[in-house]
Structure 1
């Protein structure tokens, strides 16, 4: 999340991914003031204009928040309320409007007082390190950027080396050039680039990009033990032990370890874990929750407001919470376990 503090009460924000939108859902409350750009239909008053026809214009408004909800799960945030100010006199104050906030949309949030949890949530994703994953073979290459637990893919790149007519004129350096161009278009300067795949192609590609001046901006690592390239190779890596070792401080590795520990405790018949909303809510009421992981299913299948209240209450008690989505195997595993799970400090009686 890109943030800029205006004063003690106002912070401008721009969400960069679905995690940021979820954090904003947990931050923005009824009674807050939101300023942002939106569109509004203005009725035409010209001669001969159809009475039901209007013109959609772009306008900046200030909104007193009355209702907020995640729209289409985690892809958009709907913020409804009463218009306090507008940049166009045709937009009446006191009328109702809804912002649809998406990734890369900017707004300014003004509160009477920011709580420590709200400030922590607005800054939390800024501390996350990004990784660009490159799964390369002689035939194809998959590239995805991982931030938090969200994977953003670009289309597979194919070398054209398959088939007899290509064998005599196949130039692997041209294939590498295509990959390098795509790689540097998605990578950010603080990212770590991790290259893996079968055979020696990964090492040849690593040596190739190290010759580039752009490569100096990134930390580049080679991972062993992944025997497939393309998109399949990316998914294989995110489930592997190599991922946990190389990216041990990443959010994905931490969440993966939490899920593994839950499954271990379940196999040992331990009661020091929860699965599902009701179990986790009860454990949190007792102050027993240590670590909590949730997916979009927790919000889809339960009362959204109650889920948000649980997450914020848990965090106020010192619980570390992690959100995951269906772009990774970890997100699908959490969804399969009821959408919300936790590790407990001590068992809670059923």
Structure 2
């Protein structure tokens, strides 16, 4: 995301959407009541007679957000609400949706930008390195790309392997097929690193067959127990990949959830659930808050976002970091199992 202009004193920030990952961030940043200004199209009646034409016009509108939802294919974000400013022929207080997609330039105006919202804005604007993950064994391989909020599975391929009870001639070298796919995806996405992970010694065998020196420079080896989507999370938490994945948001969030679960299991400095987190905030005990994107969205849909917003403001005054955890990865799913909201504490509550 491009941060074109910002003035947090007036509450106005001008942005440009540069990739689809930005939409996930914007869904967390834009709140009901925010004023969104941008170009949009709207059907307008020309003339007052019965034969008046209805045409689509491109115009600039300012809308007070009420609902913030992804489009059907997740390639856009629709901010729907009442029109507050626009051309004279557009009725005030009528409803309109401004669609945000790749390339859209628009402004957000808030009465107050909280610290965590500024942080999310900075995260979206900074360059985040992508990592290509290849998990494989002798029979199958899974390729995935890290995103700012989780993973995108690119492809799963299966190899031809001889069955133990049947004599079978194999015409393809499965590891060569994997190397070809690595070369294609490395060229297409230009990842910062390529993580090869496998059970046993398969990864070492495959690396010996790679002749491309530029490809080899990017490869880092890891371990996985399975070749499936759940193993992607396992690989991201591997200690041998800590230095390689230091800029990975998904890894950072998963380790936070691990720390939370450790504290809960030993009945230490952690709480979870809406009421317990509220009580901890009121006591000033919160060190950091973990809340899922799904929890926030559910409260919006129930018309109860105001109470979440109030809690976030209290925690913001405590100068405690607020982590919005994506449910696209294992960490967020595990946090959802704890109601979707939890906190690490400065001290243990009695």
Q: Output aligned runs, 1:237-316, within 5 Å.
A: 237-238=235-236, 240-242=238-240, 247-248=245-246, 250-270=248-268, 272-302=269-299, 303-316=304-317
SS of 1:259 mapped into structure 2 = helix
Aligned-pair CA distance for 1:203:
3.4
Residue 106 of structure 2 corresponds to: 108
SS of 2:86 mapped into structure 1 = strand
SS of 1:195 mapped into structure 2 = strand
1:136–1:142: 8 Å Cα contact kept in structure 2?
A: yes
1:143–1:230: 8 Å Cα contact kept in structure 2?
A: no
For the aligned residues, what is the CA RMSD? Answer: 4.0
1:84–1:93: 8 Å Cα contact kept in structure 2?
A: no
Residue 58 of structure 2 corresponds to: 59
Deviations 1:305-341 (A, max 9, x none): 3324433542343222222233222111100001011
1:12–1:107: 8 Å Cα contact kept in structure 2?
A: yes
1:135–1:231: 8 Å Cα contact kept in structure 2?
A: no
Residue 141 of structure 2 corresponds to: 141
Distance 1:186 1:129, change over 3 A: closer
Residue 158 of structure 1 corresponds to: 158
1:26–1:312: 8 Å Cα contact kept in structure 2?
A: no
Whole-Å Cα distance in 2 between the matches of residues 312 and 130 of structure 1?
A: 32
Distance 1:112 1:83, change over 3 A: closer
Whole-Å Cα distance in 2 between the matches of residues 267 and 260 of structure 1?
A: 11
Aligned-pair CA distance for 1:261:
2.9
Q: TM-score, normalised by structure 2?
A: 0.76
Distance 1:31 1:275, change over 3 A: closer
Deviations 1:81-136 (A, max 9, x none): 316336xx9x725343122445x362321548874734433112326443222112
Distance 1:209 1:306, change over 3 A: farther
Aligned-pair CA distance for 1:142:
1.0
SS of 1:319 mapped into structure 2 = coil
Whole-Å Cα distance in 2 between the matches of residues 169 and 147 of structure 1?
A: 32
SS of 2:328 mapped into structure 1 = coil
Deviations 1:49-90 (A, max 9, x none): 8x9x966x47342214253445689x645342316336xx9x
Gaps of 5+ in 1: none
Whole-Å Cα distance in 1 between the matches of residues 136 and 187 of structure 2?
A: 15
2:196–2:220: 8 Å Cα contact kept in structure 1?
A: yes
Whole-Å Cα distance in 2 between the matches of residues 149 and 204 of structure 1?
A: 32
Deviations 1:223-250 (A, max 9, x none): 1x32433545424424555555753553
Residue 119 of structure 2 corresponds to: 120
Whole-Å Cα distance in 1 between the matches of residues 305 and 113 of structure 2?
A: 21
Gaps of 5+ in 2: none
Deviations 1:114-170 (A, max 9, x none): 747344331123264432221123432212222344111112133445666551454
Whole-Å Cα distance in 2 between the matches of residues 194 and 252 of structure 1?
A: 15
SS of 2:333 mapped into structure 1 = helix
